[in-house]
Structure 1
């Protein structure tokens, strides 16, 4: 699949400003005009929500005009996402390792930029995925840690395909 489409994929972040502003990856994306800060999630956007039932799959590429990440503290994520607002078009990311210095190699503890980058990669916007990580010294680390699995996820056929790949790479999360 190619990244060239008539309408480019837009990036947005709904920011709760709960983390250290100097370490906030969403703020940096907004600062460099790579994402737009929004007060309301656009209805035509895929919403990255770690508590969603459905996962991001390559099939989603045709369904949405953009990606919106909810930027909040991991410590408060359950409260923020489950109680403050109702989000539509929710998708969670499949299992990945964090490459950021705070949560290095922790399963699923991605920063906002890592989450957006992963979604872009899975949706086959691979160049855009790499580009947004270039604004961070450690950005390449995320792709280095997850290069094979992201490539496999980007070729998956729907939810079942993603789950099968997760089971291959991370069998321990299914055996607990």
Structure 2
């Protein structure tokens, strides 16, 4: 799956996971989003599910500061907008916080949900804490991969004590 990042350059460049992905050739930096790009938007009404795979040709991560996310995502983007189902962050800054993911975590999570596990693991292995993100959420990824509708998410979260 083609991975792309739209970068706002709002965070410490040394900690920017999007810049590291571009540097290693794992994602492409873009200025414009195509209509078949899956835009990972935490404010979207719709949740990403494996059945969305047939609608898209790329996954786009919007790289911005969480403190400025509402401004960044209020911009009009092309593409198919989806939020990720709830996940625990594995990065050192927001460790174990629900939904406070880095760009690489968001892109990897979308790959796992879309059934692209090997590519998701390949992304995470470039980061010292990448395995932590996967280990924290491995069971959730397995459950989310089987989702047929958004109502099932609440049941999963209750099962895992996250609600």
Using the size of structure 1 for normalisation, the TM-score is 0.88
What SS does structure 2 have at the residue aligned with 1:33?
A: coil
| 1:104–1:13 CA distance, 2 compared to 1 (3 A) | same
Aligned to 1:140: 131
Is residue 2:77 matched to residue 1:91?
no
Aligned to 1:26: 18
Q: 2:42 aligns with which of 50, 57, 72?
A: 50
Task: Give the gaps of 5 or more residues in structure 2.
Answer: none
Contact residue 57 and residue 162 of structure 1 kept, 8 A: no
Contact residue 95 and residue 170 of structure 1 kept, 8 A: no
Corresponding pairs, count = 163
Aligned-residue CA RMSD in angstroms?
1.2
Contact residue 46 and residue 89 of structure 1 kept, 8 A: yes
What SS does structure 2 have at the residue aligned with 1:150?
A: helix
Cα deviation for residue 171 of structure 1 reads: 4.8
| 1:88–1:166 CA distance, 2 compared to 1 (3 A) | farther
What SS does structure 1 have at the residue aligned with 2:13?
A: coil
Task: Give the gaps of 5 or more residues in structure 1.
Answer: 1-8
Using the size of structure 2 for normalisation, the TM-score is 0.95
Deviations 1:63-95 (A, max 9, x none): 11110010000000001111x333431100011
Contact residue 64 and residue 72 of structure 2 kept, 8 A: yes
Aligned to 1:126: 117
CA distance in 2 between counterparts of 1:159 and 1:102 reads 29
CA distance in 2 between counterparts of 1:129 and 1:151 reads 13
Aligned to 2:140: 149
Cα deviation for residue 136 of structure 1 reads: 0.3
Q: 2:55 aligns with which of 59, 63, 67?
A: 63
CA distance in 2 between counterparts of 1:49 and 1:108 reads 12
Cα deviation for residue 157 of structure 1 reads: 1.2
What SS does structure 2 have at the residue aligned with 1:76?
A: helix
